[in-house]
Amino acid sequence: MSYTIELNNKYEHFKKSILDIKSIFSNYGSTIHLARNELKTIEIEKTKTVVKAYKIPNILNQFVYAHVRKSKPYKAFHNATKLYNLNINTPEAIAYIEFYKFGLLKESFFISKEFEYDFTIAHIRDDQPNYKKKVLEDFALFAYDIHSKGVWHADFSGGNILIKKEQEHYTFSLVDINRMKFHTISEYEGLENFNKLWFNEEDLTTIAKTYAKVADMNENRAISEILKHDKILKDKVLLKRKLKGK
């Protein structure tokens, strides 16, 4: 079985462990997420890491990711590097590795430093804590910052935005970043990026007001735009669920 490996220059000493990642992943660490892919926290080389093991693709995509398109771990690693260079928080990339058999992509892993966070943005949406307004205002500032730097997170959703309280403000970190685009984001375009968060109208209005203020936008139009995009996606998802139910 052949492999492709790429490491952050700071972590060249991890290479031996990364080459043995299949065994390490099977025998060590604690699972923190298990769905299509599995994530584990594992201490490697005396460093707390998060290792993401990607589900083996179907036979067609095994060929596509090996010969046509860049794989998910490749994108996660390189997108993390781009974010780091833009001074945008994401868990620091350590390495990715892909294993091939008969020229097809099989197992693949992305390894990053663990980011110790207090909660995700989903907690704000679902539990509505009394500190919600401050988090949402800081979140709007964070979102404007990444948009002004040309970063579009295609999976900008509740579980993919980690939050840590730092004295009087909140720090945000992006995860699940393989589906990310880098391009100029026009004045009101960024407000569409909130539509996968499934916030209520009050919370979206709070976000829009802060976003509009820092971006020097018309507040009423910003509120209208964010609510419009939220409704479009919600209506689409609810219709699909209804049709599926029938």
Categorize the per-residue pLDDT at 239 as very low, low, confident or very high, splitting at 50, 70 and 90: confident
Q: pLDDT at position 240, please?
A: 87
Q: pLDDT at position 242, please?
A: 83
Give the rounded percent of residues in the chain with a pLDDT score beyond 70.
100
- 219-245 helix and 201-215 helix, angle to the nearest 10 degrees: 140
Q: pLDDT at position 246, please?
A: 55
Q: Does domain 2-113 have CATH number 3.30.200?
A: yes
DSSP-assigned letters across all residues of the chain: -EEEEEE-GGGGGGHHHHHTHHHHHHHSSEEEEESSSEEEEEEETTEEEEEEEEPPPPHHHHHHHHHTS--HHHHHHHHHHHHHHTT---PPEEEEEEEEETTEEEEEEEEEE----SEEHHHHHHH--TTHHHHHHHHHHHHHHHHHTTEEETT--GGGEEEEEETTEEEEEE---SSEEES---TTGGGGGGTTS---HHHHHHHHHHHHHHHT--HHHHHHHHHHHHHHHHHHHHHHHHHHH-
Per-residue model confidence as pLDDT tens digits over 175-227: 999 999 999 999 899 999 999 999 999 999 999 999 999 999 999 999 999 99
Domain ranges (residues) in the chain: 2-113, 119-245
Model confidence pTM above 0.85:
yes
pLDDT value at 149 more than 60: yes
The CATH code belonging to domain 119-245 is 1.10.510
pLDDT value at 89 more than 70: yes
